[in-house]
Structure 1
């Protein structure tokens, strides 16, 4: 049984759901849940593994230091869930171009842009380089280049309210569309081709439970999760001015 160190009610509920694998507690062998506001990276201490909940974008030098962490770190990005990412990879798409449309409130605008870039990276099949960027008071557009000549365009509009939503589309012989909205816990993944439209079964596990389960599985397997390098790649793109 592994202790989970958290004061966040949603994670306490997830701990109860995952019993007897975990229980509330602390100490050097615990999984620590870290809120992602502010300098969250300074709080990745005094635990055997970590869950970082909705991290703010971090500078490049910080990500370079985080690369030395040898313990599992799950990063919770509710708009980029690992199980939804797996569903998006359930059928080969071979995209020629990727289009991401995102919109949301000003408070979460930078993280929303980062998550939109994350989906561009995922659907393009690898790392992205920035070709061009345009910013206005209410919108940002990015032109990106991926592997094997795959292009990606990202547009993020800023409006009223909080939260954010996005539609990620991979265009090729088969079309893939992912719809994510922070106002709803249910994402939609759909494939389109000559056979019609197929929607993947909806994922209903809470993001908190999913994150704790992934960390537990990584500890059991002696593995290090790829969440931090992926976060670093997406932060690097949005921090580049042009």
Structure 2
């Protein structure tokens, strides 16, 4: 059985073609998985798709949106699945990392570094905070923030006691989506390096293990997840996670200079 997919994005058309047993291209919105480009005001387009009867929505590489708009979208969506494609926070890598560290105690501290061109600094920081949330195993809250000349230093904390230090800087020469590095300080060290590719490594007394590379495109991963959510009536946590990460990233980047 195939699920109809409505998209105007070339990368998602390729993803549909690569999933012939589960996806079929459609011109209609009603009853389809609708792919929404993540440009400015993407939340309006996503809301319109849900109102028009979309079975699910995929938001492709979303720009940073206002918290109020994210809340309104979540309220409107209700049981309609909304999947968010975040290239620096790939769902398949998050799942693999979670499976590797789920039995570990919360780390004492995390160090987060984020560099990106001005155009993508907000989404890059948002995804860096997302990785810190995943590794800490709980939502994060702000403690202190200082900013100056396009740079930010901040301290967050988790409900499980992890201290999260964040260093953010504009870097015109960084890869277009940005560059992230997250390192846990614990007996078992977890390291994430993400830019055009994502590498997750876990180091303990037995050695260093690098999680298998993922060769599937982030678009195809997002589309598969949306189709699965439609068929299983699952409601992914993507919007709630996006709201958490967006709120913190906006607070850090809008902090007044020290």
TM-score range, shorter chain: over 0.9
Tell me the residue number matched to 1:58.
65
Count of equivalent residues: 239
User: Which aligned pairs between 1:6-17 and structure 2 lie closer than 5 A?
Assistant: 6-17=7-18
Matched, 1:177 2:200: no
Q: What is the distance in 2 between the residues matched to 1:108 and 1:14?
A: 24
Task: Provide TM-score, normalisation by structure 1.
Answer: 0.94
Change (3 A) 1:93 1:168: farther
Give the unaligned 5+ runs of structure 2. none
Tell me the residue number matched to 2:55.
48
CA deviation string 1:8-64 (max 9, x = no partner): 111001000111211111230111110111111111122111110111112121122
Cα distance, 1:78 vs structure 2: 0.2
Tell me the residue number matched to 1:236.
247
Q: What is the distance in 1 between the residues matched to 2:70 and 2:29?
A: 25
Task: Provide TM-score, normalisation by structure 2.
Answer: 0.89
User: Which aligned pairs between 1:25-44 and structure 2 lie closer than 5 A?
Assistant: 25=26, 26-44=28-46
Cα distance, 1:181 vs structure 2: 0.8
Give the unaligned 5+ runs of structure 1. none
Tell me the residue number matched to 2:87.
78
Contact residue 73 and residue 215 of structure 1 kept, 8 A: yes
**Greater share of residues in helix:** 2
Root-mean-square deviation (Å): 1.3
The 4+ residue runs of structure 1 with deviation greater than 4 A are none
CA deviation string 1:123-151 (max 9, x = no partner): 11111111011112231122101012111
Q: What is the distance in 1 between the residues matched to 2:15 and 2:249?
A: 32
Q: What is the distance in 1 between the residues matched to 2:146 and 2:62?
A: 24
Contact residue 174 and residue 193 of structure 1 kept, 8 A: yes
